Amino acid sequence: MKIAVVGATGLVGSEMLKVLEERQLPISELLPVASAKSVGKKIVFANTEYEVISLEEAVNKQPDIAIFSAGGSTSLEWAPKFAKVGTRVIDNSSAWRMNDDIPLIVPEINGSILTKDHFIIANPNCSTIQLVMALSPLHKMYSIKRLVISTYQSVSGSGIKAVNQLMDEREGRQGEKAYPHQIDLNVLPHAGDFTDDGYTSEEIKLVTETNKILNANIRTTATVVRVPVISSHSEAVNIEFENDFVIEEVKRLLGTMPGVVVFDFPQANLYPMPIMAAGKDEVLVGRLRRDFSQPNSLNMWVVSDNLRKGAATNAVQIAQYLITNGIV
């Protein structure tokens, strides 16, 4: 396979290269692609040095798969150009996610909808991926009516500039700001841009993407919060089901979901934390308990590395699915 990684020098792009190497996809030629200012830079992949090339050059090389992590405007302009030459595009931006003609894919949940007709495939938002990984087996069994989600999202979800701001503040240095306020020793109930109705674009993504992947009829609301953690997002999720459940069965269902690990031993102070999820692909679920304030309702805590399963790993898994199932 000839595989291009668009945005190869960025935070997520670098992680994509790492995951591609770990998962040993059958790559005959790697094409690291980035913006004009990065063309000519060198990157190392599988102990081999590669030179970063431009988008134009990458299109001309007609890769089998192009994994994008270069922002929405780049994806809107260039994904169709790659698709036109027969390349399967897996896009990590929000540009195509809510397009009715573009599949929004978490392979463990809905990879089976992919066909040879799909040339642009959307990777969901990082917070959405870990959420639906935990919800999917429960929705199949009990049918979700309503979700109330509060996220605690790490600064790496905003890119390297945000990571640098946190470390600058922590170490008392002046530097460029990614956020309108201090993030160290603080939390910001603000991720993305505010809309006229008071929600943020990140909250809207979480709602609309979850509905698209699981079921459009699930009533969903979200509050997204940025916390001073470098890696891994956490989510407090309240779920109201159509049907009642037994906690032990909930744990069993979650335990049989590929990519999900139940870690729920509160009496021993053991529960998912960002520091445990960092660098791993698994979605960790714990603090499972019945919500006694209304019928058929469950509380749970979900943690996952936003750069791994929340971005790079999911995209690479989509590429693996395409290859394994003969779609590409």
Q: Known catalytic residues?
A: 126, 233
CB environment 156-181: b (16+ within 10 A), e (fewer): bbbeeebbbbbebbeeeeeeeebbee
Strand partners, 122: 91, 104
Question: Of the candidates 306, 260, 253, 320, which has an alpha carbon nearest to the alpha carbon of residue 105?
Answer: 320
Q: 54 with 28: CB under 8 angstroms?
A: no
- 193 contacts: CB under 8 Å, gap ≥ 6: 200, 201
- Reported for 287-291, long-range contacts at CB under 8 A and 24+ positions apart, including other chains, are 288/247, 288/250, 288/251, 288/254, 288/262, 288/264, 289/247, 290/247, 291/238, 291/240
CA distance 176 to 187: 18
Q: What is the dihedral of CA 72, 76, 323, 11, to 10 degrees?
A: -20
CA distance 90 to 80: 11
Q: Which amino acid is at 175?
A: G
CA distance 278 to 283: 11
CA distance 106 to 128: 10
CA distance 226 to 95: 22
For 161, the enclosing helix (H) or strand (E) is helix 160-170
Q: 46 with 20: CB under 8 angstroms?
A: no
Alpha-carbon torsion (33, 34, 37, 41), positive or negative: negative
